Structure 1
Amino acid sequence: EKGINLTHIESRPSRLNKDEYEFFINLEGKNVPALDKIIKSLRSDIGATVHELSRTKKKDTVPWFPRSIQELDRFANQILSYGAELDADHPGFKDPVYRARRKEFADIAYNYRHGQPIPRVTYTEEEKKTWGTVFRELKSLYPTHACYEHNHVFPLLEKYCGYREDNIPQLEDVSNFLQSCTGFRLRPVAGLLSSRDFLAGLAFRVFHSTQYIRHASKPMYTPEPDICHELLGHVPLFADPSFAQFSQEIGLASLGAPDDFIEKLATVYWFTVEFGLCKEGDALKAYGAGLLSSFGELQYCLSSKPEIQPLVLEKTSVQNYPVTEFQPIYYVAESFKDAKDKLRKFAQTIPRPFSVRYNPYTQRIEVLDNAKQLKNLADTINSKELQICYLEFLK
């Protein structure tokens, strides 16, 4: 009504007066007279003390980022597209039953909070049939087209998580399995998040996963990530320690990064985690989730048709790419360790006045911006090295 949007609010008991509360509020809007009137009213009508921090976003302002895993709740529902709403060209747009079903999945994601078990879903026979078609076709290609790490983990998912042609695994079971392997966990999401928000989740080893499935009319096509893409493409690699570390490094590099570097990191993510190839001896194998969940592109990427380039992040990070068709170019990593080392060097070029470290014990991000914090980190590393040396001595 006033042209001003409230984007964030926090409250706490006042440190000066125990009977009062302090509020921190973020506002967006260009209606300066209305804002001035509101501030004046707060001061005069109710006697509030108002401190205006800033009205302009300075160039050197560090974008907000979550410091604790619980703070992922703040943006998990800020999806950019799809969710319960579908575009006119979506295969399920004219299907009222499918649209109602999508709303059910969206409601699960909207109501979810960190620490809760992921609600279990009873999938319909049609949904299980769609899953079965995708599962059967892709599984036939994995032995010859997927990387070693994917093929190593897949039988474990079949054994412990209910990966079968006639069964869609539950996110809660898969999430628990991943936590036991690498500390990664799944979190339900209704649709596509912004690149900044999605990458921030990876910093905490949290992968925002859809729970719905593509429309039955086109089982081999989806214009958006769905549970086939998440469980068949992403999950197996998140159970691999080296790949899990690489994925988290992308997330950590994104925290507090300027918008132009977020775009670069999202592009690196696209050409690695989504559409990456890696070397296995003299052969090329697929490790990207977009490839491992697409029957057609998994065959195409290892054919003679696309262009193949070595993974050079300075070049990869600015490469344009299509979203709705097969990729014309793929980048090859020597190994996950090599990709991780390159990413760390690339992250050093990001202009931010601090470094970050994830503390797995507290599940918090530690911002390193002074000598004392760096010394504490060095002491922690030295302590771990001493423990390793002691264990080696005992052997």
Structure 2
Amino acid sequence: MKTDSNACQVASIGGRRQSLIEDARRERSAGGQPGTSRGVDAQVFEEKEGRVTLNVLFHLSNEKNGGFFKTGKIFETFDAKLLHVESRPCKRSKNSTSDLEFFVKCEVHSSDLEVFVNSLKRVVDNVRSIPEEKVPWFPRQIKELDRCNLLITKFDPEMDKDHPGYTDPEYRKRRAFISELAYRYKQKVTTRDLKQRLSSKRREVYKKLRSIYANLACRQFLDGLQKLESECGYGEERIPQLRDISAFLKEKTGFQLRPVAGLLSARDFLASLAFRVFQCTQYIRHASAPMHSPEPDCSHELLGHIPMLADKEFAQFSQEIGLASLGASQEDIEKLSTLYWFTVEFGLCKQNGTVKAYGAGLLSSYGELVVSLRSRGDRRYSTTIQRPFAVRYEPVTCSVDVLDEPSKIQTVLCETRDHLKILQGALEKLGFS
């Protein structure tokens, strides 16, 4: 869950406020002399006009499910302004499916800060405050993609009343099961039994789209699709296993697939591309709307994205967008997402004077593929992103080097010199000097 608010002011309740403050002050008096707000692990990163802004983390266990409402009362009591709220399964908990970790960015009165933090400690666990990061966190190793799991739920069938599967309890149950599998397996791609889910609607989608690809899809897409049909079993009669497709991509362009439970946040999705990892959904669009899905599904991934990721130039372009996103501001993430949207998702190009589609959103939706023909996006924006370092992908260790020191840059230059010597030697053997 993720919510943002620029003006989410919580009303106060006078009597309740007085009671909580008195309780917390009694606790403080019993434990020692009052100190400054920094003495209670409250790291304030902004203070203005008598109010302070801080980031608070806390755990809410299943045994204390009433703590969520009590926490809300505390924010009410102290006239807190909520600026940002997130929740996720608590990874340190033995019961990760029910225990939650909350992150709250909020603003409170300076004089109430210590009492506010102590009041939170009375109703939830592991309360702590963290400083504001100047550069947003981003993964340095491929294994750290386990932390890139923030889902956007506005198109989820559990939340979106306009979703075709909203009124279908069996579909929603199946979706929840597949999402849990993706969260549990993380980087590992397993073999799943999909035969029973292969319907006439799925065959219709493949057959109908395949019939128009020759005239509307770009050459790179057609080449990739042909290889997938001959090497991975793409066709009307079966849904290929993600594990087989991942191995195919790894061999062709170095990309690999990773199961994901739903629509990821832009920052987390783009960060995965930096490591040549494509976060791939495993559920199928609802049978009532086979030609279009309001969210990514396996038809969108397998028919739209995978054939293009089998092309080396396109795979490199996708990774460059991902690398540009690492440590970028939220404003730049939004701009990179827009670039991704109008290229990788809805991009078109000219080949032999004819406009062709290469965007996955077009290639996986019959209606949009037929009618949507627009201009290409611009790839040069990444050079203007403001951040105090550059990054380089290291394919041997599947890691990202942050080039923020002269010594690191010198190391890269030495490696580049060695590579140039190899190329120079190759030219000399061919008779070029």
TM class, shorter-chain normalised? 0.7 to 0.9
Between the aligned partners of 1:255 and 1:106, the Cα distance in structure 2 is 26
Aligned-pair distance for 1:368? 0.6
1:241-272 Cα offsets, whole Å, 9 max, x none, are 00000000001111111111111100000000
From 185, 200, 210, give the equivalent of 2:256. 185
Instruction: Give secondary structure in 1 for the equivalent of 2:384.
Output: coil
Instruction: Give secondary structure in 2 for the equivalent of 1:261.
Output: helix
1:189-209 Cα offsets, whole Å, 9 max, x none, are 111111111111111111111
Between the aligned partners of 1:75 and 1:238, the Cα distance in structure 2 is 21
Distance 1:7 1:175, change over 3 A: same
Between the aligned partners of 1:200 and 1:38, the Cα distance in structure 2 is 35
Distance 1:132 1:34, change over 3 A: farther
- Asked if residue 231 in structure 1 is aligned to residue 302 in structure 2, the reply is yes
Q: What residue is the counterpart of 2:288 in the other structure?
A: 217
Q: Which runs of 5+ in 2 are unaligned?
A: 1-69, 76-84, 93-101, 120-126
- Asked if residue 147 in structure 1 is aligned to residue 147 in structure 2, the reply is no
Between the aligned partners of 1:2 and 1:219, the Cα distance in structure 2 is 43
Q: What residue is the counterpart of 1:166 in the other structure?
A: 237
- Asked if residue 349 in structure 1 is aligned to residue 397 in structure 2, the reply is no
Contact preservation (8 Å) 1:83, 1:190: no
1:213-254 Cα offsets, whole Å, 9 max, x none, are 111112112111111100000000101000000000001111
Q: What residue is the counterpart of 2:53 in the other structure?
A: none
The RMSD of aligned alpha carbons is 3.0
Between the aligned partners of 1:162 and 1:282, the Cα distance in structure 2 is 33
Larger-Rg structure = 2
Residue identity opposite 1:286 in structure 2: A
Between the aligned partners of 2:256 and 2:369, the Cα distance in structure 1 is 26
Q: What residue is the counterpart of 1:266 in the other structure?
A: 337
Map residues 1-395 of structure 1 onto 2, 5 A cutoff: 1-2=70-71, 28-30=105-107, 36=114, 54=131, 57=132, 61-76=134-149, 78-82=151-155, 85-114=158-187, 116=188, 118-302=189-373, 308-309=374-375, 311=376, 313=378, 343=379, 345-395=380-430
Taking structure 2 as the reference length, what is the TM-score of the superposition? 0.70
Aligned-pair distance for 1:80? 3.6
Instruction: Give secondary structure in 2 for the equivalent of 1:391.
Output: helix
Instruction: Give secondary structure in 1 for the equivalent of 2:356.
Output: strand
Contact preservation (8 Å) 2:145, 2:272: yes
Q: % of aligned pairs identical? A: 47
1:248-300 Cα offsets, whole Å, 9 max, x none, are 00011111111111111000000000000112121111100011111111111
Aligned-pair distance for 1:6? 9.3
Contact preservation (8 Å) 1:108, 1:119: no
Q: What residue is the counterpart of 1:18 in the other structure?
A: none
Instruction: Give secondary structure in 1 for the equivalent of 2:391.
Output: strand
1:49-97 Cα offsets, whole Å, 9 max, x none, are x99763xx37xx1111111111110122544445572421111111121
Report the number of matched residues: 334
Taking structure 1 as the reference length, what is the TM-score of the superposition? 0.77
Distance 1:165 1:295, change over 3 A: same
Q: Which runs of 5+ in 1 are unaligned?
A: 12-24, 42-49, 303-307, 314-342
1:14-61 Cα offsets, whole Å, 9 max, x none, are xxxxxxxxxxx98755568897469889xxxxxxxx99763xx37xx1
Contact preservation (8 Å) 2:345, 2:359: yes
Contact preservation (8 Å) 1:84, 1:190: no
Contact preservation (8 Å) 1:209, 1:230: yes
